[in-house]
Structure 1
Amino acid sequence: MTIQPAKLSDPAVRAFVGAVNAHDREEFMSLLTPGATMSDDGSDRDLADWADREIFSSHGHMEVDNESGGGRVLLARYSNDTWGEMRTKWRFTVEDDGRISRFETSQA
């Protein structure tokens, strides 16, 4: 059963999923702290390069199946034009100002 993005518990994570699915690079970047970091399958990546390749130029889309950790851990079906669809886990670190300082994604 898919959770609609508008129903996600954490406001920063909700906005992140919305920006990914809308392919809104400006909104996506505004949700991140300066110097935000990320990892993909356990390896740190250049966030801007990764986001361009895995989300914006390849039409990335998240269908969230489950959330935990106060809404900061998601199980989602992630799809893009490069890899097709895969089950993924996303973990977010959200700062006091409501912006995301780190996210980690991996196959689930």
Structure 2
Amino acid sequence: MTIAAANLSDPVVRAVVTAINAGDRAAFVGLLTEDATMSDDGSDRDLPDWIDREIFTAHGRMNVQTESDGGRALVATFTNDTWGEMRTAWRFTVDAGKVTRFETGQA
């Protein structure tokens, strides 16, 4: 079972997933603070490089399976042209309507 992006509980996370699935890099970046950070499988990464390589140039898409922590923690099937389909966990830290940090990795 998947949860449609429009039905995700947290409005900022909902907008992030919608931007990813639409391939809308500008909308995605607009949801981040200027100093936002991220990690992948426990290692901090260069955020602009990572989102381009893993999401936007690789046609990344998220199909959310579950949400918890008020909608700020997701388990999703993430698919991109580089790695194919993976079961991933995502955790978002949101402050004042913007993502300050997100962490992802295999679930």
One-letter code aligned to 1:13: V
Distance 1:37 1:12 in 2: 16
Aligned to 1:101: 100
How far has the Cα of 1:73 moved from its partner?
A: 0.2
CA distances 1:8-53 after superposition (whole Å, capped 9, x unpaired): 0000000000000001010000000011000000000000000000
Distance 1:53 1:81 in 2: 10
- Structure 2: any 5+ residue segments left out of the alignment? none
Distance 2:22 2:46 in 1: 21
Question: Percent identity of the aligned residues?
Answer: 67
Aligned to 1:19: 19
TM-score for both structures, normalised by structure 2 = 0.99
Distance 1:10 1:98 in 2: 10
Q: How does 1:14-93 map to 2 (within 5 A)?
A: 14-93=14-93
One-letter code aligned to 2:55: I
Aligned to 1:2: 2
SS of the equivalent of 2:66 reads strand
SS of the equivalent of 1:50 reads helix
- Structure 1: any 5+ residue segments left out of the alignment? none
Report runs of 4+ in structure 1 exceeding 3 Å deviation. none
Distance 2:33 2:57 in 1: 22
